[in-house]
Amino acid sequence: MESQLVVAAGLNKYFPSGVQALRDLNLEISRGQFVSIVGPSGCGKSTFLRLVAGLDTPTSGKLRVEGHDPLGLAFVFQDATLLPWRSVAHNITLPLELRHEDADERVTQTLELVGLTDFAAAYPAQLSGGMRMRVSIARALVTRPQILLLDEPFGALDEITRQRLNEELLRLWQEDHWTSLFVTHNVSEAVFLSQRVLVMSARPGRILADIPIPFPYPRSAYLRSAPEFILIANGISRQLAHADEL
């Protein structure tokens, strides 16, 4: 039996303004799964990630994160949020410094893992958008998290760079199999990356569909043109088109 790492039951979230962000949200996520969440803008996708991370609290309902420990979580945002006065290596080192942990060997290993060894001494202004995002992901992975939360990390990138980073992210996930919750507006990206895609309704967000993705790993770029891939992606797109009406 798979270990359920994240369990939400009847989860509701209201903002202080009275706006309801989430309504009766129910889901289970197994340890090591790669799960993507899609839905209309403002439907509560990012709010749910914040609840899982412990950055906010539910108004009612239950949310259990097994062995919940803030040190076991890492967050990757749409903006790389790198410190411009620190080199690539020193940006990656930052979370270990905050924990007073030895950094040198782990930073070196992480730089190798994401293919940035030759750019360790470079500064963010010297990097492309795709490379800055790789640094952001490396900074999250250097902590060896149990759960990696990604909130539209590739949303601002061009399509070619996005697809390349999709493949790199899957390669990294297949090496360590952390539990991944990935928020995106890109249906093709969600299907390509994930074992499951959760479709959310318009605000207040709830789960409309939990769609298993049957393709084995590793996955290559050619998968995106496969008829079954297109069929699944089109089905999710149709559900999203009606999400505002539900």
Of the candidates 142, 231, 215, 149, the residue with the CA atom closest to the CA atom of residue 183: 149
Give φ, ψ of 23 to 5 degrees.
-135, 120
Which one-letter amino acid corresponds to residue 178? W
Q: In terms of pLDDT, which residue wins out, 175 or 215? A: 215
In a domain, 120, yes or no: yes
pLDDT tens per residue across span 82-106: 999 999 999 999 988 877 776 778 8
% helix, strand, coil for the chain, step of 5? 40, 25, 35
Residue that the structure tokens 């298993």 belong to: 212
Domain with 74 in it:
69-243
- Alpha carbon 151 to its chain's center: 5
From residue 125, how far is each of 165, 176, 215 by CA, in Å? Answer: 19, 30, 38
pLDDT number for residue 1: 44
pLDDT number for residue 70: 58
pLDDT number for residue 71: 60
DSSP state of 215: P
Tokens of 138: 């490396």
In a domain, 22, yes or no: no
In a domain, 91, yes or no: yes
In a domain, 109, yes or no: yes
On the question of pLDDT at 116 being above 50, the answer is: yes
In a domain, 55, yes or no: no
Arithmetic mean of pLDDT, 158-167: 90
In a domain, 194, yes or no: yes
* Banded model confidence at residue 67, pLDDT cuts 50, 70, 90: low
Count structural domains, the chain. Answer: 1
Predicted model pTM: 0.91
Written as one string, the DSSP assignment of 19-53 is -EEEEEEEEEEETT-EEEEE-STTSSHHHHHHHHH
Q: Give me the sign of the Cα torsion angle 170, 135, 128, 233.
A: positive
On the question of pLDDT at 31 being above 70, the answer is: yes
Of the candidates 46, 214, 75, 189, the residue with the CA atom closest to the CA atom of residue 141: 75
In a domain, 222, yes or no: yes
Lowest model confidence (mean pLDDT) among 17-21, 71-75, 199-203: 71-75
In a domain, 15, yes or no: no
What CATH number is attached to the domain comprising 101?
A: 3.40.50.300
From residue 128, how far is each of 86, 122, 135 by CA, in Å? Answer: 16, 11, 11
Find out whether 23 and 206 touch, Cβ atoms under 8 Å: yes
On the question of pLDDT at 69 being above 70, the answer is: no
